[in-house]
Homo-oligomer: A and B are copies of this chain.
Amino acid sequence: MSSSYGENLRLTIFGQSHAPAIGMTLEGIPAGQALDPERLQRFLDRRAPGRNEYSTPRKEADRPEFLCGLVGKVTCGTPITAVIRNTDTRSGDYELLKRLPRPGHADYTAQVKYFGHQDAAGGGHFSGRLTAPLCIAGGICLQLLERHGIRILSRIAAIGCVEDRGALLASTAEKDFPTVDEGQGAQMRALIAEAKARGDSVGGVVECAVLGLPAGLGDPIFGGMENRIAAVCFGIPAVKGIEFGAGFAAARGLGSEMNDEFCLEEGKVRTRTNRAGGILGGITNGMPLRFRLAIKPTPSIAMEQRSVDLQSMEETTLRVPGRHDPCIVPRAVPCAEAAAAIAVYDALLGRRREIG
């Protein structure tokens, strides 16, 4: 299976881009937790399409309807289900794609896996639109984590070869284009505009930092924080890599550089550096948990591309119809936060068990 995640909570994501609805069910959330729907909506709006010049103009509000799991705005302990109706669907645009798989998309692999019965319209269950229910779940977890003093920061760390500057120490959530250094952000925007003008697209890197984590979260071997976070993050379409702390840079370094020496700060054990990204042996050490995601360029580009006609089994060319984001990295930023929040909150719920 596929569309479920979690050990102490269980998240199930359902829906296809052009089905009546998409949605999610979240089990295992403690009872008695008040949710703030306005804050959740603001979080979802960061992911929604149609926000700025770089994103697809499909303008659905992405307003979740909560079907159950709440009494008023307060969790009642049983599964929370929320759905978003699909309204702006134009299935006609995509009919041909079942026959002509788009390069870089799941059209071909879905065709093989489901023997031609997949819902091809709008990418079906593989659509980036399915990150909306991920963000509903993540937005809920973010609110719950805050009650434990845990916050998640994120930013665009790079677009193409343009990298952000400075450390990620404060929220960029209010920014239209979430970088730390605005000058670098302007260069990134220019790069996106340039790609768009050519009918091309561009990739990038998203960085997250989870602050306020207690030491001792996570489990050894397959239950490590890296395993847990990676297992959610690769559920975001277009993610092709993840690294924690120094990550691939650690692979180029020496032990004497990459070991984080322990020290005391106000009586608490800390490390002088944080190459480990806050995780040792899969378990949090109380330092910020840092990770970065490689986001490939949007595969939907306006240029003509070569493909294969699966009916006639002949090589041919196609142009992807419709208008698409020349860069999905900005919209991937809240998705990365959501993914981290889900994995971290799941681990936090599991911690209780060890206490006594």
Contacts and interface: CB of A to CB of B under 8 A. Distances in A.
A76 B16 contact: yes
Interface string A298-320: 11110101111010011100000
Interface stretch (A23-31, A51-59, A177-185): A23-31
A351 to B, nearest CB: 9
A79 B3 contact: yes
Interface string A249-281: 011111111111111100101011001110111
Interface stretch (A38-46, A166-174, A197-205): A197-205
A118 B204 CA distance: 41
Most interface-central of A240, A306, A352 (chain B CB within 10 A): A240
A275 B66 CA distance: 37
Contact of A104 (B75, B222, B255): B255
A294 interface: yes
Nearest to A305: B261
Interface residues of A, number: 152
A68 B263 CA distance: 32
A186 interface: no
10 contacts: A12-B27, A31-B114, A76-B124, A78-B119, A109-B215, A113-B215, A160-B253, A203-B254, A204-B251, A352-B352
Given A1-B10, A226-B240, A250 B203 contact: yes
Interface in A184-198: 195
A130 B271 contact: no
A251 B241 contact: yes
A160 B294 CA distance: 21
Contact of A242 (B2, B9, B242): B242
Contacts of A9: 1
B108 A83 contact: no
A254 B200 contact: yes
Contacts of A261: 103, 305-307
B114 A76 contact: yes
